[in-house]
Structure 1
Amino acid sequence: MSDLKNRTLTIEKTFNAPLQLVWDAWTQSEHIVKWWAPQGMDIKVIEHDFKVGGTWKYAMPMPDGNEFISEGTYKEIIALKKIVTSADFKPMTENVELQAHFEADGEKTKFTFSVIHATEAYCKQQEDMGFYNGWGSALERLDKTLETLTT
């Protein structure tokens, strides 16, 4: 097994919103549909059973009529601190682990998002395929969604 650091892609961001609001936006279906996909894309929540062992499944309609499916199973949930889930984004990314860490910083929230891959090579391939652009775009949408929820 290669070194964890070399198999992990991470984005750190500080949201100008309180911890509870950021947590809710990440964990509640009515908020997830507003930001989970990259800019310009829609998302449908098919399943969202937010508990350890629970599954989630979202569909993103594509211009060609097909749907891009993302799904996983929650492995660890520590309220207002951490979410760990398996994830498949078929057909582009499969068998990865998502880790979302939340930390209050006054009225802001420090957020660390990591995706752990099975191998270093797979990690590099995902980075080259646009990991930072794709997730960066979704997290920008989350930022804008949070602004509408705080005003």
Structure 2
Amino acid sequence: MEPSNQAITVEATVKAPVKKVWEFWTKPEHITKWCQASDDWHAPYAENDVRVGGKFKTTMAAKDGSMSFDFEGVYINVEEDKLIEYLIADGRKVSISFAAEGNETNVTETFDPEDTNPHEMQKGGWQAILDNFRKYTEQ
């Protein structure tokens, strides 16, 4: 059994320059296009104020209307095109780094796990969302 405080990391290399990756990651009109872990979910609403002290909220919902929740929090560190750190509403910390390598950008997300679901399930869900982001940004 993993320790409950062990941070989880997911990553992807996006075939796009860091400026585009940053824009697609942070603009609400893009967030609603990629922020879901599976095809039967979607993100019908997003707001994002990307600055220290700024807040974000993304509504994640099952397409059949059976359930939804708001993923929200506040930014604690923002370095444009490089780093985003925030606290989720439940107090867990998330750190996302953007490393430019020519026309590709490595996106690495590290997050504190929650106590309800197994770490592998959490990692799989966050990786699926990151993979959707990569596919959306590369098209």
The Cα of 1:49 is off from its aligned counterpart by 1.6
More helix as a share of residues: 1
Q: Which residue in the other structure is 1:85 paired with?
A: 86
Query: Structure 1: which 4+ aligned runs deviate by more than 4 Å?
Result: none
Q: Is the 8 A contact 2:32 2:46 kept in 1?
A: no
Give the TM-score normalised by the residue count of structure 2.
0.85
Q: Is the 8 A contact 1:103 1:109 kept in 2?
A: yes
Unaligned runs of 5+ in 2: none
Q: Which residue in the other structure is 2:47 paired with?
A: 47
Q: Which residue in the other structure is 2:57 paired with?
A: 57
Counterparts of 2:125 and 2:20, CA distance in 1? 23
The Cα of 1:125 is off from its aligned counterpart by 4.7
Shift in alpha-carbon separation, 1:38–1:117, aligned structure 2, 3 A: closer
- In the TM superposition, what whole-angstrom CA distance separates every residue of 1:43-98 from its partner, at most 9, and x where no partner exists? 0334322211111111122335432111000111001100001114xxxxx32111
Q: Which residue in the other structure is 1:135 paired with?
A: 126
The Cα of 1:126 is off from its aligned counterpart by 4.5
Shifted more, 55-64 versus 72-81: the winner is 55-64
**Partner residue of 2:106 out of 107, 110, 114:** 110
The Cα of 1:12 is off from its aligned counterpart by 2.3
Shift in alpha-carbon separation, 1:75–1:104, aligned structure 2, 3 A: same
Q: Is the 8 A contact 2:87 2:93 kept in 1?
A: yes
Percent identity between the aligned chains?
28
- In the TM superposition, what whole-angstrom CA distance separates every residue of 1:90-117 from its partner, at most 9, and x where no partner exists? xxxx321110000111110111110025
TM-align CA RMSD? 2.1
Unaligned runs of 5+ in 1: 89-93
Q: Is the 8 A contact 1:100 1:113 kept in 2?
A: yes
The Cα of 1:137 is off from its aligned counterpart by 1.1
Counterparts of 1:106 and 1:46, CA distance in 2? 30
Q: Is the 8 A contact 1:95 1:117 kept in 2?
A: no
Give the TM-score normalised by the residue count of structure 1.
0.79
Q: Which residue in the other structure is 1:35 paired with?
A: 34
Letter in 1 for 2:32: V
Q: Which residue in the other structure is 1:68 paired with?
A: 69
